[in-house]
């Protein structure tokens, strides 16, 4: 049951992450992607730091400098690489490559640095889920790919895996809230140059403020509290694969809220991802 609880925590985090695309679509038109990402991390990081301070877990024990810096750098790098990659390769291609590659990178890093050895079930579930994500993101008329632009989404997937692996190492000596606070507080500091050079007037509007708070408090702070709590109970590779519930949530919200059409390929992709997640959950690894 310990692993099953961790799975539900990671799935809860993925559902909250899945609200990001809809919130971004509802943001004011003058909000640049990089500014939205930086504001999201700033609000989320501040909320996580405040929560960790209130719990008294942020200052003790001493933080391993290297792992903490790597986790913060992974958070910052993901934001920059993902939004820049989407701008270059397109939303569909950029999202597919970034989200789909993250579990592969996480599996490799978990095996190389943490000694994790995923069971055969993980390989089958991950392959099925990645294929489902590809179908889910396939627009009508096919997918136009900027080959050079795919390097940035790949870097985003790798950055996510780096963050998750470093966080897993930090969880050996710190609780999940403190680890999330250190990673996102540090990531927010690294993104200060983006904040100070961006036009943030959109945040002062009612719609902009609502979007910023949803992205910062729900899609970041609450989501990563759940994710780190689940990560403490699961191998990095399993957590990364379970997080592929994010695009399914995003697609559902796109249909319900943004009135986006559902393609047959998208429906099959969503079913494939759901089947992959069920495959992992049938017999949780103890």
Q: For residues 54 and 125, give the distance between their C-alpha atoms in angstroms, rounded to a whole number.
A: 39
Say if residues 107 and 118 touch (Cβ distance below 8 Å): yes
Q: For residues 5 and 8, give the distance between their C-alpha atoms in angstroms, rounded to a whole number.
A: 5
Nearest CA-CA partner of 182 in 170, 191, 199: 170
Say if residues 221 and 51 touch (Cβ distance below 8 Å): yes
Written as six digits, the tokens of 247 are 């695009």
Res 286: pLDDT:
46
Greatest Cα pair distance in the chain: 54
Count of CB atoms situated within 10 Å of the CB of 68: 20
Count of CB atoms situated within 10 Å of the CB of 207: 13
Helices (H), the chain: 2-17, 20-26, 33-55, 65-89, 91-114, 120-136, 151-170, 176-190, 192-197, 206-213, 223-231, 236-242, 245-256, 264-282
Res 130: pLDDT:
82
Res 226: pLDDT:
94
Domain definitions of the chain by residue range: 2-282
> pLDDT 10s per residue in the chain (286 long)?
457 889 899 999 999 988 887 887 788 988 888 888 889 999 999 999 999 999 888 877 788 889 999 999 999 999 888 877 776 766 666 677 777 788 888 888 888 888 888 777 788 888 888 888 777 766 655 555 555 566 888 898 899 999 999 999 999 888 889 999 999 999 999 999 988 898 999 999 999 999 999 999 999 999 999 999 999 988 888 888 888 888 788 778 877 887 777 778 778 887 888 888 777 766 544 4
To 10 degrees, the CA torsion angle through 122, 123, 128, 131? Answer: 130
Q: For residues 120 and 265, give the distance between their C-alpha atoms in angstroms, rounded to a whole number.
A: 27
Res 91: pLDDT:
60
Q: Who contacts 190 (Cβ-Cβ below 8 Å, separation ≥6)? A: 72, 73, 75, 76
């Amino acid at each position: 049951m310990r692993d099953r609880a961790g799975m539900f925590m990671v799935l809860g985090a993925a559902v909250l992450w899945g609200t990001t695309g809809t919130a971004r679509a509802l943001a004011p038109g003058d909000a640049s992607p990089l500014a939205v990402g930086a504001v999201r991390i700033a609000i989320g990081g501040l909320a996580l730091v405040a929560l960790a301070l209130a719990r008294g877990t942020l200052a003790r024990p001493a933080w391993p400098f290297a792992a903490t810096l790597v986790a913060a750098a992974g958070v910052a790098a993901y934001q920059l690489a993902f939004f820049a990659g989407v701008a270059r390769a397109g939303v569909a291609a950029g999202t597919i490559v970034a989200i789909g590659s993250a579990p592969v990178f996480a599996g490799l890093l978990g095996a190389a640095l943490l000694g994790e050895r995923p069971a055969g079930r993980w390989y089958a579930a991950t392959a099925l889920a990645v294929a489902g994500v590809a179908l889910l993101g396939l627009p009508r008329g096919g997918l136009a790919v900027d080959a050079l632009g795919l390097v940035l989404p790949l870097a985003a997937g790798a950055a996510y895996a780096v963050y998750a692996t470093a966080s897993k190492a930090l969880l050996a000596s710190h609780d999940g809230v403190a680890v999330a606070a250190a990673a996102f507080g540090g990531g927010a500091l690294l993104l200060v140059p983006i904040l100070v050079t961006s036009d943030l007037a959109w945040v002062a509007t009612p719609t902009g403020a609502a979007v910023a708070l949803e992205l910062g408090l729900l899609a970041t702070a609450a989501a990563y509290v759940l994710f780190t709590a689940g990560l403490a109970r699961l191998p990095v590779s399993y957590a990364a694969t379970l997080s592929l519930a994010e695009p399914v949530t995003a697609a559902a919200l796109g249909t319900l809220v943004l009135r986006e059409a559902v393609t047959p390929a998208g429906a099959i992709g969503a079913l494939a991802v759901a089947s992959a997640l069920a495959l992992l959950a049938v017999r949780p690894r103890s």
